[in-house]
Structure 1
């Protein structure tokens, strides 16, 4: 099985994994033979990458860290939740609104506990980077991704279950303040003006003020919204606090937040390759991020997951066939095309071996 872009698909290819729409209904079932009409339908639904089964990728298994049905449910819950919270807290805090907010928190807690259960049962590197994306609204899907990354990082920290659940709730709700920001600014394709950037920065304080008023939300959860852009060296916002003044939850969340943000395609910039995103985290280790969290995060994620089609700097194309936990960013590759972009009899190379250390992955189209 391998992941490729829809616009790279040929008629007659076989769908490798079932695709669901945003409501959780089956859009296309595994095993479906693809044709132009179906590929056009996928594009119309905002689906740009899919898994296919073919002889080239035979034997390569792709295991979801979180079942797609659960991720869909989580996105639906957070979508409804953020909208409900911001609408009820914008109005008078009467009993009815308090009850609505309480139901939202319980729903989010429930879906996060299901996510946590999956991660505890399957303690392997998280594969979210190569997930088929069917949700257009960045804030909602980003919130779920950050919750999953933060949960895994909290597990790596050996935190108590109660603390992990609070981090998960904080991660799911950390960007609630963006619901109050003009979407034209949030989705602006060009560089923000100074005034626009200052407006966006308000989301941290707005999120905190919203969450701290909800009785069911512990104060540390509200601080996740407030502090996720703070930096260890005090150069973050909104308050410029430093080091130990920053809550441990926020130290974990900030690493997950930045990694998911930079590896996601946005209207104003393309996604960066995962190993470059990890380099970005390391460059901020000890200044922007707590060094311990960056080091632990490195072991949490599958930088280049199995099934991903990649291109090397020598021009060859291959499929990630095995993830090397001892050398993140340097997986085993099944070469399927040579330097001249012509198909070859597939063969394996390991980027972690001495003979291949000079090779670099320069393109993973399905991630961009």
Structure 2
């Protein structure tokens, strides 16, 4: 199985993984042959890459970091929980409301404990590109992805489980305030105006105001909503905090937040590949983002996920076939083209092996 950009599809290609909606309903099944009329429909839903099966990628497995059932359960919890918290924030506080908010927070904590347990046992770098879905609500999917990345990064920091779970809860709820932003602005297919951008930026304080009033939520979790757009050089918002003025939880979540934002398609901007997302983080490392957190994050994620096509510094082209957990930037590669760009009988090389240390990935794309 390999990953291809939707713009580079060719007649006869067959889906290697089904395409689903947020409810887990299969819209296009594995094995479906791609035809002209399907492509515009997929692009309409911001699908930018597809997994396909073909001879050269036979046997390359794409492992999902989070099982589909758990992902669906968590998305359902986030969708219902966000709405409950927003409704309660707009009504007068009473005993019934307090009980509802308590149940909502417990439901968030329950699903996140399952995610933490899964990631603690996980021996692969995170690959959230492993499934192709049509996302009807960007905020809910983004909240889930950021919580998964933030949890992995918190574990890499060696933090106690209590702190990991608080960071996960803070990450799930970091964009709660965006539920108050009109969908026509969140889904606008072009750059926001100055006024629209100012309205979106209010989500940090709006989310904080809701969360700080909920007894079950530790104050640092509420500060994740408030501070996740702060930057260590003081250029962030809403308060322009600098360095150690920013809570460590927020520094972790800001890295996860930006990475997931740029590696997922938005209404007005296409997604980039994981290695490009990491480059964006490194460009802001030491100014916008904590350098230590970016370095740790690099080792948490699949920079070159299985199925991605890459070119080596000796001119050969191949498909990433397996993670190298000891060095995620040096995976195993299935070579499919020679130095002269001619097709060859596929064979495997391990970039982590001593004899291949002079080899480097110099270009990565979803296209052979």
Q: Which residue of 2 aligns with 1:154?
A: 154
SS in 1 for 2:320: strand
Cα distance in 2 between the residues matched to 1:157 and 1:358: 28
SS in 2 for 1:359: strand
Change in Cα spacing, 1:305 to 1:102, as seen in structure 2 (3 Å) is: same
Q: Which residue of 2 aligns with 1:359?
A: 362
Cα distance in 2 between the residues matched to 1:215 and 1:56: 56
Q: Which residue of 2 aligns with 1:185?
A: 185
Cα distance in 2 between the residues matched to 1:200 and 1:264: 19
Q: Which residue of 2 aligns with 1:279?
A: 279
Change in Cα spacing, 1:195 to 1:19, as seen in structure 2 (3 Å) is: closer
Structure 1 residues 69-89: Cα deviation after superposition (integer angstroms, max 9, x where no partner)? 211221221111112211221
Higher mean Cα deviation, 222-231 or 177-186? 177-186
Give the superposition deviation at 1:48.
Answer: 5.8
SS in 2 for 1:294: helix
Change in Cα spacing, 1:8 to 1:232, as seen in structure 2 (3 Å) is: closer
Higher mean Cα deviation, 333-342 or 13-22? 333-342
Cα distance in 1 between the residues matched to 2:342 and 2:363: 20
Equivalences for residues 194-273 of structure 1 within 5 A: 194-273=194-273
Give the superposition deviation at 1:262.
Answer: 1.1
SS in 2 for 1:241: coil
Change in Cα spacing, 1:225 to 1:311, as seen in structure 2 (3 Å) is: same
Give the superposition deviation at 1:295.
Answer: 0.7
Cα distance in 2 between the residues matched to 1:201 and 1:290: 22
Q: Which residue of 1 aligns with 2:301?
A: 301
Which runs of 5 or more structure 1 residues have no equivalent in the other structure? none
Cα distance in 2 between the residues matched to 1:182 and 1:339: 52
Cα distance in 1 between the residues matched to 2:208 and 2:335: 49
Give the superposition deviation at 1:178.
Answer: 0.8
Cα distance in 2 between the residues matched to 1:117 and 1:45: 36
Between the two proteins, the alignment pairs up a number of residues equal to 364
Cα distance in 2 between the residues matched to 1:279 and 1:11: 33
Q: Which residue of 1 aligns with 2:99?
A: 99
Cα distance in 1 between the residues matched to 2:34 and 2:224: 46
Equivalences for residues 44-83 of structure 1 within 5 A: 46=45, 49-83=49-83
SS in 1 for 2:321: strand
Tell me how large the CA RMSD over aligned residues is.
3.2
Equivalences for residues 98-117 of structure 1 within 5 A: 98-117=98-117
Higher mean Cα deviation, 191-200 or 142-151? 191-200
SS in 2 for 1:360: strand
Structure 1 residues 125-173: Cα deviation after superposition (integer angstroms, max 9, x where no partner)? 1011343123231111110000000000000011111111111111001
Which runs of 5 or more structure 2 residues have no equivalent in the other structure? none
- Whether the 8 Å contact between 1:130 and 1:308 is mirrored in structure 2 is no
Normalised by the length of structure 2, the TM-score is: 0.85
Cα distance in 2 between the residues matched to 1:19 and 1:274: 20
Structure 1 residues 8-48: Cα deviation after superposition (integer angstroms, max 9, x where no partner)? 66677665445554223555665x55475995798499466
Give the superposition deviation at 1:119.
Answer: 0.5
Cα distance in 1 between the residues matched to 2:293 and 2:358: 32
Higher mean Cα deviation, 299-308 or 273-282? 273-282
Normalised by the length of structure 1, the TM-score is: 0.85
SS in 2 for 1:93: coil
- Whether the 8 Å contact between 2:204 and 2:227 is mirrored in structure 1 is yes
